[in-house]
Structure 1
Amino acid sequence: MQAYYATLVEHERLDTTCHGRLERARTQELLTRTLPEAPARILDVGGGTGVYAAWLAEAGYAVHLIDVIPEHVAAALNDGAAFTAALGDARHLDEPDDSAEAVMMLGPLYHLLDRNDRVQALREARRVLRPGGTLAAAVISRHAALLAYASRGELDPGRRDLALATLGHGQHDPQLGFTTAFFHTPDEALSEFRVAGFHDVHVRAIEGPMWTAVKTCTDPTHQDALVESALMCARAVETDPAMLAASAHLLATGHA
């Protein structure tokens, strides 16, 4: 994970690729509906180079970014950020109890391979949240790798078997790209939130089922229209249980 993210590819991905644009627009849309009003204090745990922290700071929030990758924290601070940033681990936050109105975890849950570690990170979020505070956490869908390779016409028997293994146990094999990670089902995300003590838990599709079309589109004259259509589709089915697993990412939300 350290080697993968040290290249800072995440910042570029959200800004320049069609899939990244779709993911970012939908994530911002769902967060706008979920987060308390500014100037609430938000902890952006696993906040990377500060893409979402900068957006929230501009909207008037008091944002503190925490990330385990030194290059991410350095890049966030070097951009003249209107937020603070520090190294840290989602499982052991160096923050007082009841010190934030909201916590975002848009990456840690899929990089914590053990369920106990994921639940510990969620419990840490609950500890630092004020009563009634909001947690918004992203997970990668269990089906993401299978759909991605199939949509590109690259699903050979070897990749199929690796992707099917992920469907069985959730552990993503880096031979399929990305890095070692855990991919959730919607029910697993709900369960982990509830075990950690959150209530009013909901899981929504971020990109929705059209993300594979967006990801594979190479016609620049069609990309903007395709992203807009994918956004409309994602909104229409964001809580449909029959469609949730078709999204690349899911956003789970709950209250302390």
Structure 2
Amino acid sequence: MTEPLAAAPPPPVPDEILAYYARGQEDARLRTGAGRLEFWRTQDVLRRLLPPAPARVLDVGGGSGVHAAWLAEDGYRVELLDPVPLHVAQAAELPGVTARHGDARSLPAADGSADAVLLLGPLYHLTERADRVAALAEAARVVRPGGLVVAATINRWAGLHDLLNQGRYFTPGTAARVHSTLGDGRTRPSGPDALFTTAYFHRPDEVTAEFAEAGLVPGGQYGVEGAAWLMGDVVEWLDDPARRAVALDAVRRTESEPSLLGVSGHLLTAATAPSRP
């Protein structure tokens, strides 16, 4: 296996994105309240897609290690890369997880060195298509031929649905910002009431096109939360183990229905790396 050729480093991650995640709130978001739906559904889909342990998994942009932790517990050999120093420090404390600084657009890994590559966050914050394709091409490079690449994206309509659900869509000025994102996919946070940082929200068909442009062979797409995240009782369902099982099963039954992919807040897209000459 060969290390990647030296190349110009990618542009730095924008300061506002680093500052947003340096607040340290992402770890708790997926462990409490309605965020558990995203966590459990992502776990459910990945456990069905990943090769058997002890495969080597590269968790690119893996944050504090929320998913790396259970992957290591399942017996996978996990290396996490993230551009946020706080995340790297948090993930480095996890048993069985190797964590270091890294950028999805220029991975410090050898060709074909991973059995699976996960990008469960980097594509959110690469607002230029060329950068997103570069990140996917890097995943294609470092995964073995026939290996799995799975990326998470935020759906184009997630902000509109979420703000309607919260009642904040009716706040003066909010609807205009949402409409701007619906037009070009870009979020432009402004002011102290901003819910998120600089990001790009995909249409489902855009994701498969970007995968293909990066040299990957697109496979399935999986709506993570389905329509359940927009229902007022979702936290109560998740608190009750019996109801939670029923709700998760219901979402799984609709996860790949093309007409419903955009209803989810998040989408997982899977692909394989082609054989190399």
Shift of 1:227: 4.4
The residue number in structure 2 matching 1:167 is 182
Identity of aligned residues (%): 49
The residue number in structure 2 matching 1:14 is 30
Task: Supply the distance in 2 between the matched residues of 1:218 and 1:127 (Cα, whole angstroms).
Answer: 39
Q: What amino acid maps onto 2:189 in structure 1?
A: P
Correspondence 1:82 to 2:96: yes
Q: What amino acid maps onto 2:150 in structure 1?
A: A
Task: Supply the distance in 2 between the matched residues of 1:226 and 1:68 (Cα, whole angstroms).
Answer: 38
Shift of 1:201: 2.3
TM-score by length of 2: 0.86
Q: What amino acid maps onto 1:232 in structure 2?
A: D
TM-score by length of 1: 0.93
CA contact (8 A) 1:22 1:227 kept: no
CA contact (8 A) 1:194 1:201 kept: no
Shift of 1:69: 0.2
The residue number in structure 1 matching 2:135 is 121
| Structure 1: gaps of 5 or more residues | none
The residue number in structure 1 matching 2:222 is 204
RMSD of equivalent CA atoms? 1.8
Shift of 1:44: 0.2
The residue number in structure 2 matching 1:145 is 159
SS at match of 1:52: helix
CA contact (8 A) 1:42 1:62 kept: yes
The residue number in structure 1 matching 2:50 is 35
The residue number in structure 2 matching 1:106 is 120
The residue number in structure 1 matching 2:197 is 179
CA contact (8 A) 1:77 1:85 kept: yes
Task: Supply the distance in 2 between the matched residues of 1:116 and 1:204 (Cα, whole angstroms).
Answer: 24
Task: Supply the distance in 2 between the matched residues of 1:106 and 1:221 (Cα, whole angstroms).
Answer: 25
Shift of 1:160: 1.6
Shift of 1:99: 0.3
SS at match of 1:2: helix
Q: Which one of 147, 166, 170 corresponds to residue 133 of structure 1?
A: 147
CA contact (8 A) 2:224 2:265 kept: yes
| Structure 2: gaps of 5 or more residues | 1-16
Q: Assess, with a 3 A threshold, how the Cα gap between structure 1 residues 73 and 222 changes in structure 2: closer, same or farther.
A: closer
